[in-house]
Amino acid sequence: MSNHSFPFFDVDLSVVIPLLNEAESLPELTQWIQRVLTQNGLSYEVILIDDGSTDTSWEVIETLAQTDTHLRGIRFNRNYGKSAALHTGFEAARGRVVCTMDADLQDSPEELPELYRMIVQDRYDLVSGWKKKRFDPLTKTIPTKLFNGVTRWISGIQLHDFNCGLKAYDQRVVKGIEVYGEMHRYIPVIAKWNGFARIGEKVVQHQERKYGTTKFGLERFVYGFLDLLSITFVSRFRRRPMHFFGTMGSVSFLLGMLITLWLVGEKWYLAYNNLRARGVTDQPLFFLALVAVIIGMQLFLAGFLAEMVSLSGSRRNEYLIRDTLNIR
């Protein structure tokens, strides 16, 4: 079944904000957003996703919503992570453009009108913020640079700051991709491999944290690298797993067979010329060849089984439609 997802929106801009224990910053942040977007004449909604906060964040959201009709709130029963919060916010968004930002006041709402313009007028699919000047310690900035460099190399997307929370998306992007696990760092990668290749970048302000403490540790870079390998493999081979496993298996099988044939041929040649020759099975290289043959067969069978699973999957023929003409 094809995914015929046609664009529909009620407002110009949806601002999706995942949060965890940010009760102190929410009043200032929502007032700042309201002031900036009202001055620029944009119709908008702000979707606050409470990712299992243990402070009074939800009570603050309820209080703010009583006087601000632009606010919408979603509260998780427990902490599921930023990817889950963003995916839920994307599903709920009704804007022509969807912007994401963090709730800790380190992302400036002053950037939102220009991000909106870049999507609507410059026709980018996605615009990622770049915090060129950061107020973070070296223990965070150095791993971040390494993380971004590796991601650029693997994905081919020339962004300086993949993990910046301040991003803007065409509605088609957020409705056409799925964010899960800890994949929020790689939304540009997921978008590109779903055909949304017009990806831009904008230098944005980085504010010093005013309230609370950071929710992320150095372990996120280890998990991030593993997630990058996962999303690379899934995106490229989800619908054709045999191309990966079959190729690797064939190479391993053929290499093992060639080594075996070479050992057997060498044995015959030496015996034919009455030269001393060791038995084929007496040579360590034979057992390495045997292992290569067995691994090759296993990889090929893994590819065959993965192909069978893929054929029976419900999303095998689910495609994204970018534009339509005279379709009702």
- Which residues lie below 8 Å from residue 207, measured CB to CB, with a gap of 6+? 105, 106, 107, 108, 135
Q: Is pLDDT of 316 > 50?
A: no
This prediction has a pTM of: 0.71
d(CA 213, CA 73): 23
Dihedral (CA of 317, 177, 185, 22) sign: negative
pLDDT average, residue stretch 43-49: 95
pLDDT at 3: 47
289 or 9: which carries more pLDDT confidence? 289
- Supply the mean pLDDT for the chain: 82
What are the backbone angles phi and psi of residue 107, rounded to the nearest 5°?
-100, 130
The lowest-confidence range among 25-29, 85-89, 280-284, 313-317 is 313-317
pLDDT average, residue stretch 272-300: 84
pLDDT at 40: 96
Q: Which amino acid is at 214?
A: T
DSSP assigned state of 15: E
- Mapped onto helix, strand or coil, the DSSP state of residue 13 is strand
d(CA 196, CA 173): 7
- Which residues lie below 8 Å from residue 154, measured CB to CB, with a gap of 6+? 228, 232
Q: Is pLDDT of 154 > 50?
A: yes
pLDDT average, residue stretch 200-214: 77
Q: Is pLDDT of 115 > 90?
A: yes
